[in-house]
């Protein structure tokens, strides 16, 4: 029901309503939450306008975040989640005991297990350069709003899975699959500035205030508050920091781009170039496996004094773009969202060639929108090519809208 789905965003669906015998019975809570994502984003805009007389985000940054979110989900269209594939394999072949799937104790143990595994993975993703190259995508926005929650890495899921495997020795996959989704969904609503402090809950739960610190590039914010649902792990392991001075969001060295492809790949290119430029075999390995701030002669996580000073006068990357171009990008991005959701709904009925064609076009479109938002000179040429491709494949029937009455409008 809608009420149940709303409660999943706050991890408030109790064991009796979210325990399943088999993996096949577990709902896709994330996909069912999309209408609530949209509703809460609209609500955040309204509350931000009432509180501060300004919107909570920008068109260019919002489209960039949503583009990265779509991009991160595209592999799941082709393959089953690597988290579940690896987990099921260990469960089927190596489990030591089988906890009852319908026991509340199993449910709560899994809540703690999934969240602790997330804390460990999240912390290592900040402290190991090759993992940070994937995770930094989520931190690349200089805004902090619910759009930012959807800004995800394509590559991160291919390293996070291993941290969950110890649970596969005794926790049924159906229970794990529920909490894997709940842990992710909980982290959506904490990406906002419109909620200040939550009183005693701040001691136990990860809250918007705690997570604002995590997304800050102020020196006091770096490598703090890694928790997913609970903040207790940070308090236990010494990585907790309370919100203090006004947080300035983004990376210590901003990427200054809205191109989702570049945002995903440029950090890897930087590691590649640094690897070959660094002398000595051990130093080359350190480039990959030590912190992103490391250099020869420095401690593993780099020198705190090298973190850029925050003045409070930092100006986010915001190229001047004509109003009509913003409108154009919003309309065409909405069309891509329609095509993407239609692809999700019909993927099992489509040939692999058609699926790959649609995915390729979506990637091309997201890259084109990123360049448009930067007002790059080559963006116009790429956009003309993209529109011509769209007309061709739409006429040939490889694309289809969820709303048949919009077919002619799309061609126009």
pLDDT band of residue 228 (cuts 50, 70, 90) is very high
- 341-356 residue pLDDT tens: 889 888 888 888 899 9
How far is 374 from 258, CA to CA, in rounded Å? 7
**Residue 197 pLDDT exceeds 90:** yes
Token pair recorded at residue 297: 């002669």
64-84: average pLDDT: 89
Lowest mean pLDDT among 38-52, 284-298, 386-400: 386-400
Instruction: Determine which helix (DSSP H) or strand (DSSP E) holds 187, and give its type and residue range.
Output: helix 173-189
Distances (CA, A) of 329 to 96, 258, 335, 411: 53, 12, 10, 16
If phi over 0 gives left and psi between -120 and 50 gives alpha, with beta otherwise, what is residue 290?
beta
pLDDT at 151: 95
How far is 174 from 5, CA to CA, in rounded Å? 18
**Residue 41 pLDDT exceeds 90:** yes
Distances (CA, A) of 248 to 201, 216, 384: 24, 5, 37
Q: Average pLDDT, whole number, for the chain?
A: 93
* Nearest C-alpha neighbor of 192 from the set 230, 249, 232: 249
Q: Where are the alpha helices (DSSP H) in 201-347?
A: 208-214, 232-237, 260-277, 281-289, 323-346
pLDDT at 313: 86
What percent of the chain is predicted at pLDDT more than 70?
100
SS3 249: strand
For residue 152, how far is the Cα from the chain centroid? 2
What percent of the chain is predicted at pLDDT more than 90?
77
pLDDT at 282: 95
**Residue 407 pLDDT exceeds 80:** no
Virtual torsion, Cα 162, 163, 168, 174, nearest 10 deg: -100
**Residue 401 pLDDT exceeds 80:** no
SS3 311: coil
- 176-196 residue pLDDT tens: 999 999 999 999 999 999 999
- 199-211 residue pLDDT tens: 999 999 999 999 9
**Residue 404 pLDDT exceeds 80:** no
pLDDT at 129: 96
User: What are the backbone angles phi and psi of residue 353, rounded to the nearest 5°?
Assistant: -60, -45
pLDDT at 348: 85
pLDDT band of residue 55 (cuts 50, 70, 90) is confident
Annotated domain spans of the chain: 2-237, 323-404
- On whether the CB atoms of residues 33 and 9 are closer than 8 A, the answer is yes
Q: Which residues of 382-399 are buried (b: 16+ CB within 10 A; e: fewer)?
A: bbeebeeebeebbeeeeb
pLDDT at 216: 96
140-151: average pLDDT: 96
pLDDT at 331: 93
pLDDT at 34: 86
Virtual torsion, Cα 144, 147, 148, 152, nearest 10 deg: 180
**Residue 403 pLDDT exceeds 80:** no
Token pair recorded at residue 255: 């990427």
If phi over 0 gives left and psi between -120 and 50 gives alpha, with beta otherwise, what is residue 259?
beta
**Residue 400 pLDDT exceeds 80:** no
pLDDT band of residue 411 (cuts 50, 70, 90) is confident
pLDDT at 410: 78
């Amino acid at each position: 029901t809608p009420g149940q789905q709303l409660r999943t965003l706050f991890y408030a669906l109790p064991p009796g309503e979210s325990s399943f015998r088999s993996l096949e019975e577990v709902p896709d809570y994330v996909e069912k939450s999309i209408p609530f994502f949209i509703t809460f984003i609209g609500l955040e805009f309204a509350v931000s306008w009432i509180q501060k007389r300004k919107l909570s985000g920008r068109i260019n940054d919002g489209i960039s975040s949503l583009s990265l979110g779509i991009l991160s989900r595209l592999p799941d269209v082709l393959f089953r989640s690597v988290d579940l594939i690896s987990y099921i394999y260990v469960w089927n072949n190596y489990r030591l005991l089988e906890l009852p799937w319908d026991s509340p104790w199993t449910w709560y143990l899994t809540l703690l297990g999934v969240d602790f595994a997330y804390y460990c993975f999240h912390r290592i993703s900040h402290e190991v350069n090759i993992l940070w190259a994937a995770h930094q995508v989520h931190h690349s926005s200089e805004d902090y709003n619910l759009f930012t929650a959807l800004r995800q890495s394509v590559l991160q899921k291919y390293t996070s899975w291993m941290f969950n495997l110890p649970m596969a020795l005794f926790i049924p996959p159906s229970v794990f699959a529920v909490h894997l989704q709940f842990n992710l969904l909980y982290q959506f609503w904490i990406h906002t500035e419109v909620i200040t402090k939550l009183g005693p809950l701040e001691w136990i739960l990860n809250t918007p205030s705690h997570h604002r610190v995590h997304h800050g590039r102020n020196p006091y914010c770096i490598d703090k508050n890694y928790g997913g649902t609970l903040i207790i792990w940070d308090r236990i392991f010494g990585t907790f920091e309370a919100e203090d001075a006004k947080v300035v969001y983004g990376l210590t060295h901003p990427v200054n781009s809205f191109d989702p492809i570049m945002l995903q790949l440029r950090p890897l290119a930087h590691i590649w170039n640094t690897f070959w430029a660094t002398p000595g075999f051990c130093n080359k390995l350190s480039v990959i496996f030590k912190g992103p701030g490391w250099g020869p002669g420095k401690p593993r996580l780099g020198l705190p004094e090298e973190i850029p000073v925050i003045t409070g006068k930092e100006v986010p990357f915001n190229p001047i773009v004509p109003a009509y171009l913003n409108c154009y990008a919003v309309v065409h991005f909405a069309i891509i969202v329609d095509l993407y959701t239609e692809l999700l709904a019909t993927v099992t009925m489509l040939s692999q060639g058609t699926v790959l064609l649609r995915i390729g076009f979506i990637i091309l479109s997201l890259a084109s929108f990123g360049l448009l938002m930067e007002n790059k000179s080559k963006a116009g040429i790429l956009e003309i090519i993209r529109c011509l491709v769209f007309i061709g494949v739409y006429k040939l029937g490889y694309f289809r809208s969820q709303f048949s009455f919009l077919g002619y409008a799309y061609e126009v």
